[in-house]
Structure 1
Amino acid sequence: MSDILETARTKALDKGEGLTQEELLQVLHLPDSDLEEMADVAHQTRLKWCGPDVEVEGIISIKTGGCPEDCHFCSQSGLFESPVRAARLNIGDLVEAAKRTRKSGATEFCIVAAVKGPDHALLEQVGEAVEAINKEIEIDISCSLGTLTLEQAQQLKDMGVRRYNHNLETSRSFFPKVVTTHSWDERRETLDNVRRVGMEICSGGIIGMGESLEQRAEFAAQLAEIEPCEVPMNFLDPRPGTPFADRPLVPVGEGLRAVAMFRFAMPKTTLRFAGGRELSLGDDGTEKGLLGGINAIIAGNYLTTLGQAIEKDVDMLHRIDLPIKAL
């Protein structure tokens, strides 16, 4: 076993301690010959500190497109010539989507809006949706509505929202290459507000936007400092009309190293496969990721891109003998 995998076994697996940024970078430089051993240590770490269950989540956008921000990976920005057009859903649509999500076996439903931050009308609509969903089914509800003031975070907590997603997206040093209309620190401030009111923090980002391996390790270390309950791992799906439209896909081996690195950075955190895994990793890579550190998935379609049918993901979990988390 390589020295860095011995370190990961001693710190992450045995003690539940995250690796340092320098150690995480060593994981990203592991040769292909060590990938199987790396995945095994990451999987054993996940089993020890998180258990065997896989948490399945469905997401839906209450407001799509027309966003004023310039996140270079996102086809929902109103600043790019993207095929995505602005649209809104009503309360009935959200309730039906939540029912379908619950029926699939998922335990969490996330309401998302393409905005810099929610205005009063959007918060009222979300409140009505949360109340209507809770009357119909039992499912944990989370939200992702952009930047929040402390008062807005408290409103969502009072509505019954359990978890709030606001991705840091990438490392602090690489962020200006990805977004120019707001700062990394603004995103961090929203996460601080979420923590202050007692909601769970969900924050991750996207692998493969042009960041260096050093910046990838920096990103994982910065997330670990925040101690999120959940980290969504996206892999860039280059969208037409965006500044990142011509970026290459993340190779499978590189993606699996990133998965293991994030597990070694945060041994006790929920790591969730999110957008782009179908393109970058495929079915085989997705299975390897679930046996290499990942313990949650977003199933079904994403916000502007197609995912796999929820039933296919559920079948996959049964095939590799991983139980789906129950409420």
Structure 2
Amino acid sequence: MTTTQFAILDTARSQVLGEGVGLTEAQVLDVLRLPDEALEPLLELAHEVRMRWCGPEVEVEGIISLKTGGCPEDCHFCSQSGLFDSPVRSAWLDVPSLVEAAKQTAKTGATEFCIVAAVRGPNERLMAQVAAGIAAIKDEVDINIACSLGMLTPEQVDELAAMGVHRYNHNLETARSHFPNVVTTHTWQERWETLRLVRDAGMEVCCGGILGMGETVEQRAEFAAQLAALTPDEVPLNFLNPRPGTPFGDLEPLDARDALRAVAAFRLALPRTVLRFAGGREITLGDLGARQGLLGGINAVIVGNYLTTLGRPAESDIDLLGELQMPIKALSETI
């Protein structure tokens, strides 16, 4: 590797590690174009940035699907769309099951429990179910509650804030320029508007996306810069796990080296943000990659299973954090 190719690492060390200023879109692109021999020093630098600006603690979260399947939107990666011939069928979870899932999540040491629904946006029935679930969980479990319920009206944002929702997740999914290739039933701007409402209401903003959906490295850099402009409290990084019956079902999983380059690049673009390992990391990175990601900029994980795909056993991630001497962030530190 030439000195010129190494230059972006020197720049990032000074700018991001030294000053806490995230990389620009052009600089992120330089990182994503680094050759494989630069991967190890890149991950080491991203880890230094994470330790300096976020600290050693790792935030652990569990998620649960309140309403599964039957979604009217056509997100091409998602087997919960009612428009695709996928094996996922519509189902609702009752309140006692929500409470039990929250209890099991808390037992892992997690501080965050996210209630998710496969919808364009919540209707009156869903909002009532969420309200009942949150009230029941708060009566029995000491854990922060997040929600991911699609696009919201201003009134619904206010309702969720009044329920005590700690953080709202609504992923932009990909770069704005690539979004029409991923979703056609709503726009990137509509998602952005929900995130603005959430921020204005005082809830924490959780916004990330999925890598490996046919985007170019230029669009990956664009996406990192657009997230940085949003200044979210948390960015979940997912990697496409191609689902049978969806338009993206035949795509190949992202190369592990490209995935790790992206992890480091997003950390260097977002030095102070909670950067969370989410769906698809098992198929894309495997056990070794999970370790490398945690030593390459990641400072949060979703434990257990995802919405329609299996994850690593929660105990495996907790054991790995112990092995790496990374303390789990306490509940009092996340409020």
Q: Please indicate, yes or no, whether the TM-score normalized by the shorter chain is above 0.5.
A: yes
Q: Which residue of 2 aligns with 1:214?
A: 218
What's the secondary structure of 2:272's corresponding residue? coil
Shift of 1:322: 1.0
Q: Which shifted more, 122-131 or 273-282?
A: 122-131
Shift of 1:326: 1.2
- The answer as to 2:149 corresponding to 1:150 is no
Shift of 1:124: 1.2
Q: Distance in 2 between matches of 1:17 and 1:195?
A: 22
TM score, norm. by length of structure 1: 0.99
Q: Which residue of 1 aligns with 2:227?
A: 223
Q: Distance in 1 between matches of 2:309 and 2:128?
A: 27
Gaps of 5+ in 1: none
1:122-166 CA-to-partner distances (Å, cap 9, x unmatched) read 111111111110110100000000001111111100000010000
Q: Which residue of 2 aligns with 1:237?
A: 241
Q: Distance in 1 between matches of 2:186 and 2:164?
A: 28
1:193-234 CA-to-partner distances (Å, cap 9, x unmatched) read 001111000000000000000000000000000000000000
1:86-125 CA-to-partner distances (Å, cap 9, x unmatched) read 0000000000000000011111000000000001111111
TM score, norm. by length of structure 2: 0.97
- The answer as to 2:262 corresponding to 1:258 is yes
Q: Which residue of 2 aligns with 1:187?
A: 191
Q: Which residue of 1 aligns with 2:96?
A: 92
The partner residue of 2:15 within 11, 17, 24 is 11
What's the secondary structure of 2:287's corresponding residue? helix
Q: Which residue of 1 aligns with 2:50?
A: 46
- The answer as to 2:61 corresponding to 1:72 is no
Q: Distance in 2 between matches of 1:250 and 1:319?
A: 27
- The answer as to 2:166 corresponding to 1:166 is no
Q: Which residue of 1 aligns with 2:145?
A: 141
Letter in structure 2 aligned against 1:307: G
Q: Distance in 2 between matches of 1:107 and 1:93?
A: 19
Letter in structure 2 aligned against 1:149: T
Q: Distance in 1 between matches of 2:92 and 2:122?
A: 14
Q: Distance in 1 between matches of 2:90 and 2:304?
A: 21
Q: Which residue of 2 aligns with 1:290?
A: 294
- The answer as to 2:135 corresponding to 1:128 is no
Q: Distance in 1 between matches of 2:20 and 2:152?
A: 31
What's the secondary structure of 2:200's corresponding residue? helix
1:160-189 CA-to-partner distances (Å, cap 9, x unmatched) read 001000000000000000000000000000
Q: Which shifted more, 65-74 or 310-319?
A: 310-319
User: % of aligned pairs identical?
Assistant: 64
Q: Distance in 2 between matches of 1:310 and 1:200?
A: 25
1:248-271 CA-to-partner distances (Å, cap 9, x unmatched) read 111111001000110011000000
Letter in structure 2 aligned against 1:148: L
Q: Distance in 1 between matches of 2:199 and 2:304?
A: 29
Letter in structure 2 aligned against 1:201: V
Q: Distance in 2 between matches of 1:257 and 1:135?
A: 43
Shift of 1:62: 0.3
| Regions of 4+ moved over 4 Å | none
The partner residue of 2:276 within 251, 272, 284 is 272
Shift of 1:55: 0.6
Superposition CA RMSD, Å: 0.7
What's the secondary structure of 1:173's corresponding residue? coil
What's the secondary structure of 1:36's corresponding residue? helix
What's the secondary structure of 2:158's corresponding residue? helix
Shift of 1:274: 0.3
Q: Distance in 1 between matches of 2:115 and 2:41?
A: 38
Shift of 1:32: 1.1
1:6-36 CA-to-partner distances (Å, cap 9, x unmatched) read 1111111111111110000000011111111
What's the secondary structure of 1:281's corresponding residue? helix
